[in-house]
A and B are shown apart, each in its own frame.
Chain A
Amino acid sequence: MIIYLKKFGTNLNGRQFGKESYSAFKPSLRDVDKDENIIVDFAGVITFTPSWADEFLGSLNDEFKEKIILKNTENPSVQATIDMLEQIYQNKFKIK
């Protein structure tokens, strides 16, 4: 499955918005097969922050762990946020 984050907006910030985004998307995750990877695509996202990411990627990480692959992470706020989350979660994300 590919999750296109730009479908949630170009400015992804705030816990409340992150929580709402994950809740809205959660039903779609039921379609994921047992061995399927979850590709999170950042193309088109402009502002990405740890507060939004902790609610969305953190929840995804709790559920799917090593099946998550991040893609199109060149944006500096995406990179800075991923670095921060890796420090907090003490694990490395797979990046395509």
Chain B
Amino acid sequence: MNNKFLTISQAAERIGVSIQTLRRWDESGRLISIRKKDTSHRYYKEIDIDKFLNNYVKNLYKLAERWAAAEKSSEVPADYYCKDISVFQGRLTRLQNDLGKVYRLNKIYPLISAITGEIGNNSFDHNLGNWPDVPGIFFAYDLNKGQVILADRGRGILNTLKKVKPELSNHQDALRVAFTEIISGRSPEYRGNGLKFVKNVVVSNEIDLKFTTGDAQLTIQKNDHDLDINKSKIYIQGCLVLIKF
């Protein structure tokens, strides 16, 4: 049995959060430290940190959902946070390379990488200079489960599309427009077509998509030409996306 102890700074580094966050988690009971007295330094059993990290990985979607839905932003492990587009680009290339090693995906992995790129880049392109609180996106994947998860705390689809379609009044309609209406020509709106591409790819391949923004949730899968858009259980100010394959 592993009885090794870690200091709070070692534990913080291993998880990818700050020492302050670990102190807060200790007080709230989320990840309890070991201390001789209330005033002593905090220590953690290495085995407990490993268990905690495993739980994180098991619940990547929940982790992203919690971050995207919280009124105030919480910290996420550094491995899953892309503070700017260059970090995202680097990790997207790593995803492309990792997907390329999965035999069952050898025909469609460029498409998974491409739709992940379009969704992630959309978050940056539509929120640059306008992030309501935290810039950047959550981006994680678990190839054993066949999942890519993306989230942002940006302005959401409705607020973004309202700039070119002021008549839009609710998240469901905004989501439908984003995924269906082709904006022709290269001006004045250069950006409107990434999600249509995502839809075209999903309906033609063994890929499922769940996309939540505001109080609207869209699910699409292969051959699903009619979009299924419902009220979401949780309100997401920006976007929360699950790609399954």
Segment 200-227 of B: residues with Cβ below 8 Å from A: 200-201, 204
Contact across chains for B113 and A88 when beta carbons are under 8 A apart: no
Q: A14-B117, A15-B125, A58-B186 are in contact. Are A50 and B111 (CB under 8 A)?
A: no
Contact across chains for B194 and A46 when beta carbons are under 8 A apart: no
Q: A11-B117, A46-B100, A49-B114 are in contact. Are A81 and B186 (CB under 8 A)?
A: no
Docked complex Cα distance between A58 and B191 (Å):
13
Q: Mark A75-93, 1 if CB is under 8 A from B, else 0.
A: 1111011011001111000
CB distance from B137 to the nearest CB of A (A): 13
User: In the complex, how many residues of chain B place their beta carbon closer than 8 angstroms to a beta carbon of chain A?
Assistant: 32
Docked complex Cα distance between A77 and B108 (Å):
8
Docked complex Cα distance between A10 and B108 (Å):
15
Q: Does A63 count as interface, using CB distance less than 8 angstroms?
A: no
Interface window among B32-40, B71-79, B89-97, B150-158: B89-97
CB distance from A57 to the nearest CB of B (A): 11
CB distance from B181 to the nearest CB of A (A): 11
CB distance from A81 to the nearest CB of B (A): 7
Residues of A with C-beta under 8 A to B122 = 51
Leading 7 A-B pairs by shortest Cβ distance: A13-B117, A77-B110, A77-B114, A47-B113, A14-B121, A11-B93, A84-B197
Residues of A within 8 A of B (CB): 9-11, 13-17, 46-51, 54, 58, 62, 75-78, 80-81, 83-84, 87-90
A-B contact pairs, 17 of them (CB 8 A): A10-B93, A13-B113, A14-B124, A15-B191, A16-B125, A46-B100, A46-B113, A47-B110, A47-B117, A49-B121, A50-B197, A51-B117, A51-B121, A54-B190, A84-B193, A89-B184, A90-B184
